[in-house]
Chain A
Amino acid sequence: MQKNNNKLGWLFASPYLIFTALFFLLPLFWSLWLAFTDWNMISPNIKFVGLSNFIKAIKEPAVQSAFFVTYKFLIIFVPIALFLSLGVALLVNSLPKFKGMFMVAFFLPYLSSGVVTALIVKGLTSSNGPLSNFIENTFHVKVDWFSNPTIAILLISFMIAWKMAGYYGLILISGLQNIQPEIYESAKLDGTTPWQRFWKITFPLLYPAFFTVTILAVGISFGIFTEVYQLTGGGPDFATNTWQMEIYSQAFVNLNSGYASAIALMSSIITFASIGVIRKLLEMWGRKNGWQ
């Protein structure tokens, strides 16, 4: 019986395994090999260049920028995304009726194309766009949306957070609905304020959902591309350049496939390491608060 179940399990898992082997493992090994060559995928001559692609990448200002800019996005985007998604979850959860309908409404941006969102923001923030005109006419301030790196990173972070808030909110709502109403009732009888109930009951009990959302948001920070590509192209002066933007430029604009693969591998290692560290920190915080 055990053996039959194993066979059936493997049979059902096989499409995924084959898909993974074809579209993840094979490209991964190929990329590993490419990273140590100078191949541009056109030339008949392929030269093994050892670690020189990696050394070049470490010295390159564009790659150094990608490294730091990604952490800037992480520091700005993750809190905004958590705050917005928690707001969505609390708001929808508190509704007496039509929770499903409102949740779908908040979820819709997640289904929209990043390109479309970026184009809308581009139109709104262009120097003769409605948002810029409104700010200039009302407050007599001219905002350099994308010439100022800080504003550009903030704006892109908000855009992605807006897009993801519905999805993350959905995860947080399921966490909220797992909290027994009796806990709130007894806390109310003890005379607690709503603020105290949020910090002492809701927030700690949402830990598993927060854990998931934080890790997902951190992952997104390392994969930002579409919005940057559409709005800033990584500029000004690489101030919004991300790993994905740099890999794209090297692989598909400069056609330096070997070098781009080296950057991709470096970014993967840094991404895994960073997510690992953040995960450990979150687990430590969870254990401190009674979560195993």
Chain B
Amino acid sequence: MNLRKIVIGSAIVLAGVGGLTACGKSGNNASKDGKTTITFWAATNPTQYKFWQNMAKDYEKANPDITIKVSQMKESPTSEATIQAAIASNTQPTMSENISRSFAAQLADSKAIIPLQKEKGFEDLVNKRNMSKTMKNWEFSGGNEYVFPIYVNPMMFAWNTVELKKLGFDKSPTTYSEVEAVAKKMKEENSKKVIWQSPNLTNTTGYQRWFDFFLLYNAASNGSQFVSNNEYKANSKSLSQVYGFMSDLSKVGALNTDKTESPFEKGLSLASATGSWNFPYWHESFPKLQYGKTYDITMPPAPDGTDKSNIKTFADSKGIVVYSKATKKEKEAAVDFMEYVFKDSKNDLAWMKTTSLTPATENATSNKEFKEYFDKNPVMKKYADAVPDAIPAMDNSKYSEIQQAFSEKAWVPVVNGKMNAADAVKETEKSVNNILGK
């Protein structure tokens, strides 16, 4: 055999071995010497990684038979793609956080994750953490609970109260007619400002609708399903109201979709849809922004006549899943670890202090443990109050395509003032059904 054949042969063998290794390598560690080792992938955010490292250390002290290997999820190119590649190469962890309800639907569709309610101790954990109402929102078609939500960030509206007062409004607007009245006054005074400014309003990437459309839709429809059981279920009346509202704002020039650095923070727009993660950034970069003094936080504007005590919004929310590939012992250890962390509200408080993300517990505002924190951070209390009214993303594996499709066909044309509400409702139904194969 000559060297040429050896080299080519080696290349082919190595390529094959590489491929097989990728297919066969396991991310899990089976029990060794009576010890169970589980792997936990934390989100890319360093603060979340630090939190989980500390929790794992504490848990290992209390449970010497279980080892938890915490590592940071890669976000290259996206955390979802990292998990996708891990599953394809059979190197997925035992459990991971940072999973949205929509991505969980994809994973559940492919049987890559387990229904948690079937695991011993899970329902008990849900009760102990006071999150039954939240879990109801997270329930998947078929009654399964695939994700244990860690945090629920209700998306709320921030209003520049200084500018509102200048225009003669003492309270932040909460209904469509109140917002339109502010817009009208602004235009009468020839203000260059707008109500809502964000380039993402016309960005058709699917997930962008979580930060504009779904706030308004959930507020208008009392949290009605948009897609459920692979069927288009949107409430046409609410949809028409949302599109009508955005169309009206567009017509009077109260929307701006130019690429702008921090338009709300710099006072160019009066409102901004925001999650609680923004506050540490505001505190550092825009210290003049102060809750109760220069800005107010409200639920998203709703159509006139909506019961103001029961407004819903979108929940930017993520949680933990356990992968199907884990052994029985590993699954038990995973649920036990979750129970260890979340049965104690001190850990939820530590989570909120570390990450500024609202824990998915419904009694945070009445829990004495949180009192001191909320006294110091009243804006976070507002978010914690809204947790039970925050609806997570749809449970459909094609969520990204669905949201992109109606963004292109309806939402963006409405925002640009090129489509009326009635046509947008029709286009939404048509484009979503097209993706659902109906």
Contact A252 B203 (CB under 8 A): no
A10-B4 contact, Cβ under 8 Å, with A18-B11, A235-B203: yes
Provide the bound-state CA to CA distance between A231 and B4, in Å: 48
In the complex, what residues of B have CB within 8 A of residue A256's CB? 401
**When the two chains form their complex, are residues A126 and B15 in contact, meaning their CB atoms are under 8 A apart?**
no
Asked whether, in the complex, the Cβ of A147 is within 8 Å of the Cβ of B258, the reply is: yes
B10 interface residue per 8 A CB criterion: yes
Which residues, 236 to 283 on B, are CB-close (under 8 Å) to A? 256-261, 263, 266, 268
Known A41-B84, A42-B106, A252-B81; contact A146-B259, beta-carbon cutoff 8 A: yes
**B 74-93 to A, binary, CB cutoff 8 A, 1 in contact else 0:** 00011011001101100000
Binary contact readout B272-308 vs A (1 if CB under 8 angstroms, 0 otherwise): 0000000000000000000000000000000000000
Q: CB-CB < 8 A to A20: which residues of B?
A: 11
A17 CA to B3 CA in the complex, in Å?
13
A253 touches B205 (CB 8 A): yes
Return A234 CB to nearest CB of chain B, in Å. Answer: 8
Whether a CB of chain B sits under 8 angstroms from the CB of A197 is no
Give the distance in Å from the alpha carbon of A131 to the alpha carbon of B400 in the complex. Answer: 35
CB of B19 within 8 Å of the partner chain:
yes
A145 in contact with B110 (CB, 8 Å): no
B319 at interface, CB cutoff 8 A: no
On whether the beta carbons of B81 and A21 are closer than 8 Å, the reply is no
For residue A123, CB closer than 8 A to chain B, the reply is yes
Are A233 and B11 also in contact (CB < 8 A) when A42-B112, A127-B258, A147-B257 are?
no
Residues of chain A within 8 A (CB-CB) of B398 are 254
| Partner among A30, A123, A236, A253 whose Cβ is within 8 Å of the Cβ of B78 | A253
Q: Does A40 contact B (CB under 8 A)?
A: yes
Contact A44 B10 (CB under 8 A): no
| Chain A residues, CB < 8 A from B110 | 40, 42-44
Contact A14 B14 (CB under 8 A): no
A273 within 8 Å of B (CB atoms): no
A10–B10 CA distance with the chains assembled, in angstroms:
12
Chain B residues with CB under 8 A of A126: 258-261
A25 contacts partner chain B, Cβ-Cβ < 8 Å: yes
Given A18-B14, A128-B261: A41 touches B205 (CB 8 Å cut-off): no
Contact with B along A120-137 (1 / 0, CB 8 A): 001101111100000000
Does B107 lie within 8 Å of A42, measured CB to CB? yes
Of the residues B3, B14, B87, B408, contact of A42 by C-beta under 8 Å: B87
Shortest CB distance B416–A (Å): 9
* Chain A interface extent, by class: 35 or more
**Chain A binding surface SS class:** helix
Let me know if A178 is at the binding interface, CB within 8 A. no
User: With A18-B10, A255-B81 known to touch, is A129 a contact of B261 (CB < 8 Å)?
Assistant: yes
CA of A7 to CA of B2, assembled, Å: 8
The CA of A41 and the CA of B91, in the complex, are separated in Å by 13
Q: How far is the CB of A291 from chain B (nearest CB, A)?
A: 36
Residues in A15-59 with C-beta less than 8 Å from chain B: 17-18, 20-22, 25-26, 30, 40-44
A255 to B: closest C-beta gap in Å: 6
Considering the complex, which residues of chain B in the window 359-377 have a beta carbon less than 8 Å from any beta carbon of chain A? none
Would you call A165 an interface residue if the criterion is a C-beta within 8 Å of the partner chain's C-beta atoms? no
Asked if residues A254 and B18 are in contact (CB atoms below 8 Å), the reply is no
Complex Cα–Cα for A26 and B77 (A): 20
Chain B neighbourhood of A14, CB < 8 A: 7, 10-11
A44 CA to B257 CA in the complex, in Å?
Answer: 42
In the complex, what's the smallest C-beta–C-beta distance from A216 to chain B, in angstroms? 25
The reply on B204 being an interface residue by CB < 8 A is: yes
Q: Is B345 an interface residue (CB 8 A)?
A: no
A6 within 8 Å of B (CB atoms): yes
* B206: chain A residues within 8 A (beta carbon): 253-254
Report A125-178 residues with CB < 8 Å from chain B CB: 125-129, 144-147
- Chain A residue at smallest Cβ distance from B208: A233
Residues of chain A with a CB closer than 8 A to B8's CB = 17
Contact A22:B15 (CB < 8 A) given known A43-B109, A237-B408? yes
Closest 10 CB pairs between A and B? A127-B258, A43-B110, A41-B88, A42-B110, A21-B11, A21-B15, A7-B3, A252-B81, A127-B260, A14-B7
Given A30-B19, A254-B206: 20 more A-B contacts, CB < 8 Å: A7-B3, A11-B3, A14-B7, A18-B11, A21-B11, A21-B14, A22-B14, A26-B15, A42-B84, A42-B87, A128-B263, A144-B258, A145-B259, A146-B259, A147-B202, A233-B204, A233-B205, A235-B204, A255-B84, A256-B401
What are 11 A-B residue pairs whose CB atoms fall within 8 Å in the complex?
A17-B8, A18-B15, A21-B11, A21-B15, A22-B14, A25-B15, A41-B84, A41-B87, A43-B109, A123-B261, A253-B78
